[in-house]
Structure 1
């Protein structure tokens, strides 16, 4: 294979069905809860916060759906260029690359920590980083369309796991008193940080704006977005209540990966360590998202360096991925152990801000552009 040869990352051979939107919304929203839930989401009354923020997320997705209904969305890069202008588009791409790098870092380092803690404690984590990156790069190199289709595998490999947590609702020591208090005694900083965490965890669908050319203009996009968000909220509620029954608020705060630790207590007649199987299946979930973000990162670099109209070659793509891998190794060696909470907090804020700003900004710019064209602005 000649690394200088051209290859296709952004080719489109067909328009994908809207059900892919539901799958992607749900899986993107379920990514970070597994990794960072115990930081702030521990008190029983956060049940109401999950419901309330889930409703707000629905309305935000309805705003996002207006972007998919616009003529600019299906044009991809050309649509963004026409709407925003190339200078502003380059500036936004420059702002977006650190966010993508942060998200990839949290995903890769977080998942590798889970594997290291529960499956391979004796293996150097840098080898795990290498494995995850190699597989993700291979997936991304297949092109955007094939990577999007992989969401079907990622979805069905993980969605069924929610059934396993049903047993914790009938746990011998489970009691409704574990869900008290249902009303916070005061609005502490911890409460508001919990709401921020939920909103940030529900972020991710805003990254679908770049996939509109493969999804096409579909009148049912709002429905598919809503269904994906509703499934996520139901999963959040079931998992959160299950953790309350099993741990209680005080112990939950001390558990780093509560959902994985709960599964370790389950035993099946055939498998004794079912948690290992689940962690392995979760890898498909993470690999899909990392691969998508790798393609985004490379596309952003091409926009910044004004190479968008030039052919894609393997060397430039692999160099971009190598930069990300080196960054991950440096973060793992220097920052992850000591400054993990700082990185996670920054990620929570970045996700929350991007989720609320991206849909509103795009829809506002579309309205302004339409009024300008119509001569009414």
Structure 2
């Protein structure tokens, strides 16, 4: 485990950590999330990428002022020990709930599409154990798994060519055929797919060349945007507006159009290997929760990983209705928007404190 904040991450580690943590489940439902604007959805990933790059600036700038500290440490240095620990406790809860949401959503998809009418308890335990195994090796282990995942999963975009073959290019125009309320709904639902690049603030102290972090993180963001852009363009060409609105995972429906003689159900195959992407995203938030507990308790321990894993198992198996759980997970995702904007506030606090010191 990372006993100290040792510099272990190269530029390519940063690129693939940012890129893999962002994708997760988002790519599967992206067309549906943007369905409020109909066929005009295809260019939204470009807008998301620009906004992500802009909001990345205060994250990197703040982290460069505290090169050896993650966001948990920065909170205590800027806001004081008690306020800092309170905010860090909140971030731990956020990470644990998000970790639970990612696992729950993927296992629900598996149960609906691949293993109907079967209990998923065994799969849940196996999934959590795999995530713990990856995270126990530290942030570099997680980064290496992200690189492996990219090369195992990146080729799957090849299957989009069937959507291009059977799609209608005319669907891509006009570009702005929507109202302001539809734009806002699509933006609010769709930007969830960008959540993950804020994870940079938690592994920043481990980067060997922090001055290049902005460039490498930006590359990771735009690799993700290329995947999103491919899916939204092909989705807009292939599906009707009704399908975009009513199919929650349109990309799986698109995979059913794939015609290969040696594989009968590409969609089932795609869902199964998607586990690699889910493991990277889930692993990031498990690691984040672990580091948060380390910070609050001022003690580095592997037992914190196990505690989060057990607590996650309990959350997923709580006797709450599915609606209650979905509401909790949805609110947690909205907290992510606040976390993306939060570094801007901390930058202001840092500048105010710095000016006060200069005056004194």
TM-score, scaled relative to structure 1:
0.85
Corresponding position of 2:139: 144
Give the gaps of 5 or more residues in structure 1: 1-7
Would you say the 8 A contact 2:18–2:220 is kept in 1?
yes
Corresponding position of 1:41: 34
Corresponding position of 1:265: 257
Corresponding position of 2:68: 74
Per the alignment, do residues 39 and 242 of structure 1 end up closer, same or farther by CA in structure 2, a change over 3 Å counting?
closer
More helix by share: 2
Corresponding position of 2:219: 227
Per the alignment, do residues 36 and 73 of structure 1 end up closer, same or farther by CA in structure 2, a change over 3 Å counting?
farther
Structure 1 counterpart of 2:82, from 87, 90, 115: 87
Corresponding position of 2:11: 18
Distance 1:250 1:286 in 2: 28
Would you say the 8 A contact 2:111–2:118 is kept in 1?
yes
Query: By how many angstroms is 1:228 displaced?
Result: 1.6
- Please list, as runs of the form range in 1=range in 2, the aligned pairs for 1:313-328 lying within 5 A after superposition: 314=303, 316-328=304-316
Distance 2:165 2:159 in 1: 12
Alignment pair present for 1:367 and 2:351: yes
Per the alignment, do residues 13 and 50 of structure 1 end up closer, same or farther by CA in structure 2, a change over 3 Å counting?
closer
Structure 1 counterpart of 2:335, from 340, 346, 350: 350
Would you say the 8 A contact 2:32–2:244 is kept in 1?
no
Query: By how many angstroms is 1:326 displaced?
Result: 0.6
TM-score, scaled relative to structure 2:
0.89
Per the alignment, do residues 36 and 94 of structure 1 end up closer, same or farther by CA in structure 2, a change over 3 Å counting?
farther
Distance 1:347 1:184 in 2: 31
- Please list, as runs of the form range in 1=range in 2, the aligned pairs for 1:1-377 lying within 5 A after superposition: 8-11=1-4, 14-34=7-27, 36-42=29-35, 43-70=38-65, 72-76=66-70, 78=73, 80-171=75-166, 174-188=167-181, 190-304=182-296, 307-308=297-298, 310=299, 312=301, 314=303, 316-330=304-318, 334-336=320-322, 338-339=323-324, 342-343=327-328, 345-355=330-340, 357-375=341-359
Q: Deviations over 1:232-264 (max 9, x none)?
A: 222212101212222221112111211122213
| SS of residue paired to 2:175 | coil
Distance 1:301 1:12 in 2: 15
Distance 1:48 1:34 in 2: 15
Structure 1 stretch displaced more, 246-255 or 294-303: 294-303
Distance 2:254 2:63 in 1: 40
Give the gaps of 5 or more residues in structure 2: none
Would you say the 8 A contact 2:286–2:305 is kept in 1?
no
Would you say the 8 A contact 2:134–2:283 is kept in 1?
yes
Distance 2:214 2:294 in 1: 31
Query: By how many angstroms is 1:12 displaced?
Result: 5.2
Would you say the 8 A contact 2:22–2:281 is kept in 1?
no
Per the alignment, do residues 216 and 253 of structure 1 end up closer, same or farther by CA in structure 2, a change over 3 Å counting?
same
